[in-house]
Amino acid sequence: MSNTNDIFISADSTCDLSPELLETFDVSLLPLYITMGEKTYRDGVNTSPEAMFSYVARTGELPKTAAVAVADYLSVFSAQRALGRDVIHVDISADMSACYQSACIAAKEVGDNVYVVDSRNLSTGTGLLVLMARELARRGTPAEKIAEELRSAAGRVEASFVVDTLTYLHKGGRCSAVAALGANLLSLKPCIEVKDGRMGVGKKYKGTLKRCLHDYIIDRLQGREDIDPHRIFITYSKIDPALPAYAREVIASIMHFDEVLLTDAGCTISGHCGPGTLGILFMRKE
């Protein structure tokens, strides 16, 4: 039976776990790189979504995001193996970033007992798997088995967000200027969903952001028997502070979760979706 201290668990910075959760679950982060103009920063270390929003407002351009470097993974993985610890690392979907590929290259170079997991997701959709990894480790599950469990569970994660404006999606080349203008004129708030490891546009909601969030949460949760009630995330980016609390109330009116966790979205989701974004992320039962 593995000692939980023998298993090192990490994720890239896109998982959007709060500092408190990282500490409670003993998880380490490897930051992606964010380039704004001539300067490159490390996600969550020396830049933030607020800095990105200011840059976009000032320049009209989106910052560029680059994957964690192979050398960064290699440094962390090899140091942990030198301490005799098995390594489990969980990455943003391989279809959204080169992080997974880079981590696999580093893991292969380090050798045995380094397990890289493609979350097939992003934000706290990845975070759900990261927390699951530590819970399994604390039960004494061996690292190789944890990695198997995470890969199996990845397909049960449901991640989606309601977006207040299509401006950022348009700037990122994810929707046309006509669609962005039309949606903004009609006060449409699209739902961005993760399916098969990729982001796509789902249902479009109409009205105030509060009204849209209410309808979105009802659509996601009501009348379902297949949702795992253990944990749900409410993850958001630069939003009216009353709305996450309101989302929590709507969730509670539909079903009980053991944990309802509120987290700020990091640079990746914020850069894709822009300010005024909020999503709920949870898992389905086995």
Which tens digit of pLDDT belongs to each residue from 267-277?
888 888 889 99
Q: Tokens for 2, please give them.
A: 């593995």
Confidence of residue 176 (pLDDT cuts 50, 70, 90): very low
Q: Tokens 């994957």: give the residue.
A: 67
Task: Give CA–CA dist 233/242, Å, rounded.
Answer: 16
- For 157-284, CATH gives 3.30.1180.10
Amino acid code (one letter) for 264? D
- 67/1: higher pLDDT: 67
Share of the chain above pLDDT 70, in %: 91
- The residue behind tokens 């200011």 is 54
Burial grade of 254 (CB within 10 A; 0-12, 13-18, 19 or more)? middle
The pLDDT value recorded for residue 228 is 98
What's the pTM value of the predicted model, to 2 decimals? Answer: 0.93
Q: Are strands 39-42 and 27-30 parallel, antiparallel or unpaired?
A: unpaired
Rounded mean pLDDT of 91-102?
95
Kindly report the average pLDDT of the chain as a whole number.
91
Residue 183 confidence (pLDDT): 55
The predicted model gives 89-103 an average pLDDT of 96
Which pLDDT score is estimated for 166?
A: 72
Residue 177 has pLDDT above 50, yes or no: no
Structural domain boundaries in the chain? 4-154, 157-284
Return d(Cα 16, Cα 14) in angstroms, integer. Answer: 5
Q: Which residue has the higher pLDDT, 105 or 204?
A: 105
Q: Say which CATH class 4-154 falls into.
A: alpha beta
pLDDT on residue 2? 47
pLDDT at 107 over 70: yes
Percent of the chain with pLDDT over 90: 75
The arithmetic mean of pLDDT across residues 143-149, rounded, is 97
Distance, C-alpha 139 to centroid of its chain? 25
Q: Bigger pLDDT: 184 or 22? A: 22
Res 5: pLDDT = 62
* pLDDT tens by residue, 200-255: 888 889 989 999 999 999 999 999 999 999 999 999 999 999 999 999 999 999 99
DSSP 43: B
Burial of 96 (0-12, 13-18, 19+ CB in 10 A): buried
What pLDDT was estimated at residue 180? 47
User: How much is the pLDDT for 201?
Assistant: 80
Q: Over range 11-22, report the average pLDDT.
A: 96
